[in-house]
Every structure is written in structure tokens, then in C-alpha cells.
Amino acid sequence: MAETRFLPQASLEPLFAALVRDGRRILAPTDRDGRAELNVVTSSGEVAWDGGPTILSAKSAAFPKVERLLSFTREGGQVALQDAEPAPAPTVLFALRPCEAGGFGALDAVFNWDTRDRFFNARMAALTVVGLSCVQADEACFCTSVGGGPGSTRGSDLLLTPEDGGFLAEIVTAKGEALAALAPELWQPAGGREKRVADLPAKFDQPALTARLKDLFENGLWAEQALRCLGCGACAFVCPTCVCFDLVEEGDARGGRRLRTWDSCAGPGFTRHASGHNPRETQGQRWRQRIYHKFATYPERFGMVGCVGCGKCTRACPVDMNLAEHLAAAAQA
């Protein structure tokens, strides 16, 4: 594997046609009123190649905002349960940024931690990720501070990097190889082409931060940083690695369904006990939870950082809670 080829610009449209012919659903960034948004496309012309990062992450491809886990019906005192069977369409995430591609690893850590989540796994099995390296970064980006990079292949099955007249194509996994094999005539030898990506210096020292967090749990800086936080779920819902979910049941006397929905640690209902007590009563405690889950718990439990530095939370936040800036401040506290 890890073979590098060249995909000429003129091959893009035939490649999209080959994917459609193969029955794949293509999800790619498109422009909606000036905002980049993931949508189903069938042609390379619909893709916003030079658009900025999408507001929402691609995690919904494997972990949708609402998912039915089971249904139940009640008749004559008998309750019948029906498991929902995941049947995801074969999907290609096209032109996904390397940070987001890396985000699936953090979801996988939780969804395959103790029990193997068949819904997540079915969607991942049907998913092929074609990454697109970044040639520029913005103020919110910090992938290089959390082990990623603008040209990182982590999480991509195939990674494209813009080049004059086309893309350098790194085939990373068997899925990537299978995708390339759908139209072998479209790819050329890489020649001597060099991979050029954005230059993004690290904004903080992550291992040092993780070590520092051990002593900062009771520090006043979390409450101070969170003073302006509105407590909405925008950061968690746009995040490619935020994996917390809630289980809710809806129905009436005749039957209903159990759903899995996205959850957010920013809201007052997060971890509220049945007694009414909440160990994370204040916004500062909930903000601390967000930081610690990603930068202390994940490294300790899974040996990875639970953040890919995509900056989506920073861009989406109505009150400019800049994550990298607050982490840098914590590292120096």
C-alpha cells in the first residue's frame, strides 16, 4: 500500500462518474449561501474545492444526529421488540480535510471500547474516505498541535494533495486501492512530484498540556474561561470527535422507538442524576469536562488525543471560545 500516483484534473469527472456507476453515494463539501456544507453530489463540478472548512463535521456519516436503535409495539398486553438493522448505503466522503478524516479514530475508540457498536461499525464498513490535503490554514486550525497535519494520511483511505494540473494521490488502505481500481485508466505515475501542504506551526505542546492538566482540575481558570460560554451545544455538535450520545424513547400506548441522539457536555442536563444532583453544576465545570475528556481522559484511556485540531468549535462558537488559545493558556497556567 501507501503507493503514490497522480490524478489529473481531467480525471476527476470520470472518477465521480465511476463512483456513481458503482452505486456509491458521494458526500462532498458544497457551497450553500457562502458556507461550505457536506451534501450528496454526483459531479465534481458541484464540489466547493476552494471553499473553507465545512461548518459541520462529517461524523454524521458514521454517527448521525438521530438514529433508531429499536422499535416496540404493544398489543393485548404483549410487547414486541424489533431491532433496527443498519443498512448504510456505500458512501464516499470526498475531499474531506485530513483533520476530520482523523476524527473517525476518536469515535471508533468509544464505539468499539467495550461493546462493539454495530450501527457505527456498519456505517464505517460502508464508508470510504478520500481526503484532501490543506494548502492553507486559518486562525482556528491547530491540527499540528494534536498529532495531525495538513497532509496527514491518518483516517483517509486515499489522500489527494493539490498539484499543478491535478492531485497527488496517496493510496493508504485497501479501500482506497479498491476505489482507485474502479477506473484504473484515470491514474498516472506520480513522477517526481512533491507533496506541498500548508505550513502550520504548533500552537501548544500537547504532551506538556496533558501532563499539566493533572494539577489543574480545581484551578479557577476553567470558570474564568467559561464566563462568556452560553452553554449551547454548537461546539459539540460540529465536532468530528465529540462522541457523547443520549438515549431517548418516544412513543405512545401502542408502541414507540428508542433513539440515539447527539449529546453535549455544555448543557445543564449533561450528567444530571435522577436525584437532581449534577456533579457538573456550573458552566466552568462543564467547560473543564470538555477539555479534560479530550486532553486527559482520552490520552489516559485510549492512548490518543480526543481532538483533531480542526477548529470547527472555534469557528461555530457564537461567543468565540477559541479552543487552541484556551489550551495554550492552560498549558502555561
List of residues contacting another protein (CB under 8 A):
32-33, 35, 37, 55-56, 65-66, 138-140, 223, 227-228, 230-234, 236-238, 246, 248, 250, 259, 261-262, 264, 267-269, 282-284, 314, 316, 318-320, 322, 325
Tell me the closest approach of the beta carbon of residue 285 to another protein, in angstroms: 12
Tell me the closest approach of the beta carbon of residue 221 to another protein, in angstroms: 14
Tell me the closest approach of the beta carbon of residue 89 to another protein, in angstroms: 18
Nearer to another protein by C-beta: 234 or 307?
234
Tell me the closest approach of the beta carbon of residue 234 to another protein, in angstroms: 5
Nearer to another protein by C-beta: 16 or 119?
119
CA distance 221 to 325: 13
Cell 497527488 belongs to 168
Contacts made by residues 321-327, CB under 8 angstroms, sequence distance 24+: 321/225, 321/228, 321/229, 321/235, 321/287, 322/140, 323/140, 323/142, 323/235, 324/140, 324/142, 324/145, 324/203, 324/204, 325/203, 326/225, 326/291, 327/145, 327/203, 327/204, 327/209, 327/291, 327/295
Tell me the closest approach of the beta carbon of residue 160 to another protein, in angstroms: 26
Nearer to another protein by C-beta: 161 or 322?
322
Nearer to another protein by C-beta: 127 or 236?
236
Nearer to another protein by C-beta: 206 or 314?
314
Contacts with 211 (C-beta within 8 Å, 6 or more apart), sequence order = none
